[in-house]
Amino acid sequence: MRVLIVGSGGREHALAWKLAQSPHLTKLFCTPGNPGIGNHAELIAAGAGSVSDIADWAKENEIDLVVVGPEIPLAEGIADCLHERGVPVFGPDRKAARIESSKVFAKELMDRHGIPTAEFVVCDTVSQAEEAIRQFTSEGKQVVVKADGLAAGKGAIVTKGRDEALEAVRRVMVDRVFGSAGDRVVIEERLRGPETSILALTDGEHLVVLPPSQDHKPIGEGDTGLNTGGMGAYSPVPLVDDSLLNRIVKTILRPTIRAMKLEGCPYRGTLYAGLMIVNGDPYVIEFNCRFGDPETQAALPVVEEDLLPLLKQSAEGNLGPDRIVNANGTALCVVMASGGYPESYETGKSIEGLENDLGEGIVVFHAGTAMKDGRLVTAGGRVLGVTGVGRDFREAAKRANQGTSQISFDKAYYRHDIGYRVLGVT
């Protein structure tokens, strides 16, 4: 099989790393890719990089499967373009991708089909949002303010009181910190409990559920400070035992796939369910229409079986029957970020240490890197994902920390407590 990956981050590097191991692979390409992905795939420029340009390139080069990493090309309709050209694609079409590209669509879908989620109000104006906040807080509830559109994983603002929530609305709808993504907002009750991310491959009918993972969104240790795209993750998640995972499949994943089909937008690709476990019951915090980042960098290293046939079967509609993939060992990913992220930061910093053998069970995924004058340099907020793989959490964490200690760049920042919930670290 000739496979094209679309994307340039850590998630796409993890996909390239995994797919490169498949005996079914003939040739792997990636657009635009990054230097790390270049170790596994041929990096190509598909015209100007628009979704139609990529689709044209895939058709002309007889690609057997396109695997789309990020949400933006999916929301722009890359799957639709590929379908028109007869190229198999792993990822939902534009209508189905609304499950991530519109928080309003996702919440109203869940409401119509009885899928457990937080109580919410959709608001088109500042005054409507302020009224919703007053209603929630008068009942003693805290709220989360969510931009309707795509905001690079940063569009949900968790607040602790009325004034903070009102200020969040002003930032989103008046100051436009998320641009047009904040044209509408969802005000929802803030739930409390541990979170988990579930990645499920689906062909629109059947599900193959990968090992659960747990992301660490806040920038600061102990889950403090601003939300980011994700500072690290581990897989599997002890909290999500077989009983709970089967309930998640029964009450959330299957009903969502069924609902999408009933509403005329059948879903194929990865359904990412970001869940909160409240008093033992799972609730949907968000859906994403693609593999998570950095969850993929923790989940794929513990998936023993070949991923490529599963992606192909999903794209072709013959994935069944439903099943859950058990984890083989444990993986823990620590994200090394540019100092100042998720706010302003500098790029172009030389990265040292990756030329060395970091040790057994350590895999480094490039997220925001580039080559400049023959040097590997930083090129984004999240720069590297250093994953340790081991028999248990302590071994995985030890290896991840061993990896980060050998890599350096100016003002590098990373959390030292990834996995603290399972490692007993406070």
Q: What is the pLDDT of residues 122-141, one digit of tens each?
A: 999 999 999 999 999 999 99
> 67 is written with which tokens?
């695997």
> 120 is written with which tokens?
């919410």
Confidence band for 202, pLDDT divided at 50, 70 and 90: very high
Instruction: Say whether the peptide bond before residue 236 is cis (omega within 30 degrees of 0).
Output: yes
The per-residue pLDDT for range 361-418, each reduced to its tens digit, is 999 999 999 999 999 999 999 999 999 999 999 999 999 999 999 999 999 999 999 9
Query: What whole-number distance in Å separates Cα of residue 125 and Cα of residue 332?
Result: 42
**With 70 as the cut, is the pLDDT of residue 296 above it?**
yes
pTM score over 0.85: yes
> 333 is written with which tokens?
């990913």
Tell me the CA distances in angstroms from 145 to 24, 183, 186, 274, one per residue in order.
Answer: 45, 13, 6, 16
The mean pLDDT of the chain is 97
**With 70 as the cut, is the pLDDT of residue 426 above it?**
no
Do 285 and 274 form a contact (C-beta atoms < 8 A)?
Answer: yes
* Range 330-423 has CATH code 3.90.600.10: yes
Beta strand ranges found along 70-162 (DSSP E): 89-90, 120-123, 143-147, 156-158
User: What is the rounded average pLDDT of the residues 190-203?
Assistant: 97
Do 267 and 227 form a contact (C-beta atoms < 8 A)?
Answer: no
Confidence band for 152, pLDDT divided at 50, 70 and 90: confident
User: What is the rounded average pLDDT of the residues 228-247?
Assistant: 96
Do 45 and 66 form a contact (C-beta atoms < 8 A)?
Answer: no
Identify the DSSP state of 294.
T
**With 80 as the cut, is the pLDDT of residue 271 above it?**
yes
Confidence band for 47, pLDDT divided at 50, 70 and 90: confident
2-91 has which fold?
Answer: Rossmann fold (3.40.50)
The per-residue pLDDT for range 69-95, each reduced to its tens digit, is 999 999 999 999 999 999 999 999 999
> 108 is written with which tokens?
């109203």
Q: If one looks up domain 195-324 in CATH, what number appears?
A: 3.30.470.20
Do 353 and 406 form a contact (C-beta atoms < 8 A)?
Answer: yes
Residue 146: name the closest of 89, 91, 227, 66 by CA.
227
The per-residue pLDDT for range 25-45, each reduced to its tens digit, is 999 999 999 999 999 999 999
Confidence band for 154, pLDDT divided at 50, 70 and 90: confident
119-189 has which fold?
Answer: Dna Ligase; domain 1 (3.30.1490)
Show me where the domains of the chain are located: 2-91, 119-189, 195-324, 330-423
Q: Which residue in the block uniquely carries the two structure tokens 């690609």? A: 63
Do 263 and 109 form a contact (C-beta atoms < 8 A)?
Answer: yes
Identify the DSSP state of 298.
H
The per-residue pLDDT for range 110-127, each reduced to its tens digit, is 999 999 999 999 999 999
Residue 252: name the closest of 290, 285, 284 by CA.
284
The per-residue pLDDT for range 172-191, each reduced to its tens digit, is 999 999 999 999 999 999 99
Quote the pLDDT of residue 239.
94
**With 50 as the cut, is the pLDDT of residue 240 above it?**
yes
Quote the pLDDT of residue 227.
86
Confidence band for 108, pLDDT divided at 50, 70 and 90: very high
Identify the DSSP state of 279.
T
Quote the pLDDT of residue 111.
98
CB crowding 149-161: b at 16 or more within 10 Å, else e: bbbebbbbbbbee
Query: What whole-number distance in Å separates Cα of residue 8 and Cα of residue 36?
Result: 9
